[in-house]
Amino acid sequence: MFVVATAGHVDHGKSTLVHRLTGMWPDRLAEEQRRGLTIDLGFAWTTLEGRDIAFVDVPGHERFVGNMLAGVGPVPATMFVVAATEGWMPQSEEHLAALEALGVRHTLVVISKADLADPARAIAQVRDRIPDARVVLGTDLGSVQAELVALVDRLPAPATDSDVRLWVDRSFTVRGAGTVVTGTLAAGTIRVGDQLERDGRLVTVRGLQSLGRDRDAVSAVARVAVNLRGVERESLRRGDAVRTPGAWLDTSEVDVVLRSAGKLHQKLTLHIGSASVPVHVRPLGDVGARLRLTRALPLRIGDIGLLRDPGAHRIVAGVEVLDVRPAPLRRRGDARARAAALATGRVTPPVCARAKDLRAMGFEVVGERIGDWVVSPEWWAERRRLALAAVEQWAAEHDIAAGMPFETLRQRVGLPAVELVPALLDGTGLQLRDGLVQRPGVALPPRVDKAVQTVREWLAAEPFRAPEAAELAELNLGPKELAAAVRAGRFVRVADGVVLGPDAFDRAAEVLVGLPQPFTVAEAKRALNTTRRVAVPLLEQLDARGVTTRADDGTRTVRVSRAGDTGQAD
């Protein structure tokens, strides 16, 4: 199917021409039929030489240019009507400006009412304003039909496998069916049973119609009516979009390059697809601008729209979206640098982003893949260098720390997600342990190492006589120093402020297995030659490790494996 929109000044015969071509009167509203004036969008279709052609008939009155833009926005071709009786008129000019701003380059001009006035003047005016357009007289319907066939044959092939984004131009309720939306499907394919997304919610395609017939699937380019389950008609309006789930990012701020720009004002209206959204405009250089939308839209790089001043009835500029996630302009020089980038007509993709987000933004997914992420190789290499430097600096400033906290490193090197940190450390020689990033074989500082060695000598003589708090304080072994020694494997922690040698649990089991079973805490204390301060938490640790089992009466039994060694139960 091919979709063609009409364009032209009010009362130049657009609807009449569509009716002659299709046998269908496009004006559907009672007021339109009463007044003989197109107010809203009309739709009709026909088949010419085997080609299905659908028409979106738009109003020509200056009061309804917003409606006209909603119909033309998603359409690739136009049939521009100029009456021989009046020639080129103000809305002819505004409609042409809109088409040029929207990048619609495939146009057939039909001179209507050629039986009522000499068409020569109108033809000359058209040649002056649209020099490359084909021009045909509306009185010769056969020539109009032939030129329409030639027009649609020149259109580029649509991308039928692309993500769906259907801009809604009508929504209504059908008794027994529910909510129906219509629009021009510019790309992709919709099938019955598909799930689409609307404003973060999933809706199901219950049924499809195109050109008045039920369909199982409809591919672009096409006029389509979609019966949706899971959404109320009142929640849908012209300018909304139903689209492939997860494939689009709603954005309320975009950077654009301006085409044929006139004088910019801070407050204009953005027309894109069938949407019409007030925006705040911040110029960036001569050809760029940042637009802040009053409501978020699902936009992508390369989308074409226009800015209009509705109060002055003036098309201000065509716009092409270059970035849908622009960085904030906070520092001095940011705006100037951004203007220079927009002037080139393209912006570079984020140095680090999820692949699905890059695709949703409209960037080509190119770079180094790190799981679900895509990174710039140069940026990634710089993150590695920064990570090494950050860990070295941390170690120098925290001599008893076992390593740099995982989250601190992530923030320091500027990674957007924690799952990227392990991949960043791979190949750097750094290791991740217990939420800390450290160099392998990190030794204790000399002052701590000397004190630890003193305690180790005490424990060699009396393995279960843990040093008292006063003894540790005299050696300057506080909680941080003890924790560092435990992480380094020099001690095991039995309880707060209670440390023993690294083999304490195994040695305790060897002693306890020689006791009559079961045994009491007091018996264990005597056998281990220690105090209750050590014995009680030590036995609790052995319970937790499965070395001993505690009975209800408080006695314990050493569990013995089949090999005769103490350890885990069979």
Domains in the chain with CATH codes: 2-154 (3.40.50.300), 165-243 (2.40.30.10), 249-348 (2.40.30.10), 349-442 (no CATH), 446-558 (1.10.10.10)
The least confident of 116-125, 149-158, 253-262, 324-333 is 253-262
From residue 43, give the alpha-carbon distance in Å to each of 22, 59, 196, 211, 242.
Answer: 10, 12, 24, 9, 20
The stretch 360-364 carries a mean pLDDT of 94
In this prediction, residue 352 carries a pLDDT of 96
SS3 70: helix
Cα(368)–Cα(377) distance, rounded to whole angstroms? 6
The mean predicted confidence, pLDDT, of the chain is 89
The answer to whether residues 391 and 437 touch, using CB atoms and an 8 Å cutoff, is yes
**pLDDT for residue 567:** 43
Task: State the pLDDT confidence band at 317, using cuts at 50, 70 and 90.
Answer: very high
pLDDT in tens, 223-265: 999 999 988 888 899 999 999 999 999 999 999 999 876 678 7
* Residue 564 binned pLDDT confidence (cut-offs 50, 70, 90): very low
Check residue 21 and report its DSSP letter.
Answer: H
**Is the pLDDT at 399 greater than 90, yes or no?**
no
Binned at pLDDT 50, 70 and 90, residue 63 comes out as low
pLDDT band at 563 (very low <50, low <70, confident <90, very high): very low
Query: Strand, coil or helix: what is 335?
Result: helix
- 349: which DSSP letter? P
d(CA 558, CA 39): 92
Does the pLDDT of residue 547 top 60, yes or no?
A: yes
DSSP character at residue 486: H
Beta bridge partners of 422: none
pLDDT recorded at residue 192:
97
Would you place residue 74 in the very low, low, confident or very high pLDDT band (cuts 50, 70, 90)?
confident
Q: Check pLDDT > 90 for residue 46.
A: yes
Quick one: residue 345, left, alpha or beta (phi over 0 = left, psi -120 to 50 = alpha)? left
> What mean pLDDT is predicted for residues 112-138?
97
pLDDT at 313: 79
- When pLDDT is averaged across residues 461-479 and rounded to a whole number, the result is 91
Residue 159's CB: how many other CB atoms inside 10 A?
14
Residue 443 has pLDDT above 90, yes or no: no
Instruction: Please give the pLDDT value at position 381.
Output: 95
- Residue 79 pLDDT > 90: yes
pLDDT band for position 328 (cuts 50, 70, 90): very high
Is 496 a residue whose pLDDT tops 80?
yes
Give the pLDDT confidence score for residue 339 in this predicted structure.
95
Q: Among candidates 66, 98, 60, which has minimal Cα distance to 82?
A: 60
CA distance 465 to 97: 92
- Compute the distance between CA of residue 167 and CA of residue 277 in angstroms, rounded to an integer: 13
pLDDT band at 62 (very low <50, low <70, confident <90, very high): low
- Sequential DSSP letters for 152-199: HHTSPPP-TTSPPEEE-SEEEEETTTEEEEEEEE-SSEEETT-EEEET
The Cα–Cα gap between 129 and 112 comes to 17
What does DSSP assign to residue 103?
A: T
